[in-house]
Structure 1
C-alpha cells in the first residue's frame, strides 16, 4: 500500500501516465512534479518555523498536529495531559480559593437519570382534539 493505493491501482496509474505523456516525456514530468512537491514542502516547513518563531520560547514544544480535532480528542481520552488542562484546572481552583476562602468544595453529584425524549401517545389517543391554531400569533 502506498498512500492507501493498492498495487493494481498503482500499476493502472503508471500505465495511464505512460500513455498520456509518452515514454520520452514521462521522466521530465516526474522531475517537475517532484520539484513542485519539494517546493510546497519547503514552503510549509518555512511557514511553520515562522509561526514558531513568532510564538516565542514559551511554545517551543508546540506541534501543529496537536491542533487537529482527532489528535486533541485522542489525547484527552487517553489521559495524556500534554496540553496542560490539569494545570489550568488547578489554577482556577487556586483562584476560587483565593477569592472565597470559606467556600466549601461541592460534593460530587449523583449521575442523573437519562431523559426520555420519545413522544408518548396521550391518554385520549390520536383522535384527541387539538388546541386551536392562531395564524396571527406565529
Structure 2
C-alpha cells in the first residue's frame, strides 16, 4: 500500500503533523491513524476472504488476469519496441563499431560484420564500382 512512500516523505509528514497538530496532539493523532489503518486492513482482508469462500475455485480464475495487469506496471514501451524491432540486438545500428568500443559483441567484432576480402596481390588492380564514382 505504501510502496511508493520513502523515508523522506514520512519525515516530511511527521514534521508537517508536528507543526499542524502540535506536540501535544501528535501522539493521539498517530495512534488514531494507526488504529484506523489496522481496521481498514482487517476489513479488506475479511472481504477478500469472504469473496474467496463464496466463489470457491473460480476466485483464482478471476485473480490471474488481475495479477497479469499488475505485471504491466513495470512495462517499458521503449524497451518493448526496441526488443520487437531489433530482436534484442543491443547495438542495432552499429554505433559500437563506429565508436570503436565494440561493447556487447564477442571479441569486439560486430555480429553483422562481413568477412574481410583478401588483400590485393602486388600489381593487381582494385575492382571498380561504376555506380560509386
Query: Could you say whether these structures have the same fold, taking a TM-score greater than 0.5 normalized by the shorter chain as the test?
Result: no
- TM-score band, normalised by the shorter chain? 0.3 to 0.5
Q: Return the structure number with greater relative CO, CA threshold 8 A, min gap 6.
A: 2
TM-score, structure 2 as length reference:
0.43
